[in-house]
Copies of this chain bind each other. A is one copy, B any other.
Amino acid sequence: MKIAISGKGGAGKTTFAANLARWLANKGVTVLAVDADPDASLGSILGIPEAELIKLKAIVDMKELIEERMGGSGAFYPLNPKVDDIFDDYSISVGKIRLFQMGNIKGGGTSCYCKENSFLHALVNSLILDKEDTVILDMGAGIEQLTRGTAQGVDALIIVTEPSKVSVKTTAIIKRLGFELGIPKVLVVGNKVRKNEDEGFLRNHFSSEELIDILPFSEELLDMSGNTGSQELPQGSLGIQLANIYQEIVRRVK
């Protein structure tokens, strides 16, 4: 199962992705969590110390190594992550979650991240997973990774949206791009809903089929997103709601 998480900046993508990874890991699933945003924060939110994250090699640097080892053409990387030792050097594990970062920080004015996106696309498409393994791609804010096609080849694209005209407009564009990429399931999750009319606003913009659920504004999730809060899956009613959303995503993808 390969799932990409996208949305406008600030909608709550990374926190949603981190909690999905935790929920799957708690079920015994091996999760390959890929931070596809050059402005990386998934590792921090998963609770990995900065000192370790700084040392983490970017997966784009695996390219030559893999091609050498596999005699690859550059178009396919037929790896099984479970058996391949290369992956160990390019990831940090937290329980059953294995974190990868697409690229490292470059210098000012030196380069785009096209090469990184292109390799990530090739890698995601050629990964051979065990039945229960899951890849989660936490995408950068906005639309460029969709116009680049980085997420092409995933089984589902989950778009996290706030109840605002601006966020909903971005979500509509990402949805269209997802369909253009041929992603089988494009689903929406509402987030940071504060008022009754916010919920109505979201229900007016998305069909009940595509809108999986709507999460309330939560100080707990806000603190988690800023890495000033908990590093555990939320408990209580919020935890139950998240679990139901994640269960529904898995059900739809299968």
- Contact residues of A with B, CB < 8 Å? 8-11, 14, 37-39, 41, 44-45, 50, 105-114, 117, 140-144, 146-149, 152, 162-167, 169-170, 173, 176-181, 201, 223, 225-228
Contact = CB atoms under 8 A, between A and B. Distances in A.
Given A9-B8, A11-B10, A141-B140, A226 B165 contact: yes
A147 B177 contact: no
B142 A37 contact: yes
Nearest to A219: B194
A38 B114 CA distance: 15
A214 to B, nearest CB: 15
Greatest chain B CB density within 10 A among A108, A146, A163, A226 is at A108
B109 A226 contact: no
Contacts of A9: 8-11, 39, 141-142
Contact of A107 (B10, B41, B177): B177
A112 B165 contact: no
A254 to B, nearest CB: 24
B109 A41 contact: no
Contacts of A178: 108
Given A162-B226, A164-B226, A111 B38 contact: no
B147 A109 contact: yes
A178 to B, nearest CB: 7
Given A10-B10, A226-B167, A108 B142 contact: no
Q: Ordered nearest first, which 8 A-B pairs have the shortest CB separation?
A: A10-B10, A9-B9, A164-B226, A109-B149, A108-B180, A39-B142, A9-B141, A141-B141
Given A38-B144, A112-B117, 14 more contacts: A9-B10, A9-B142, A38-B147, A41-B166, A50-B169, A105-B173, A107-B180, A108-B146, A108-B147, A111-B147, A113-B147, A162-B226, A164-B223, A164-B225
A228 B162 CA distance: 12
A33 to B, nearest CB: 16
A231 to B, nearest CB: 12
Contacts of A152: 108-109
B147 A106 contact: yes
Nearest to A145: B112
Contacts of A179: 108
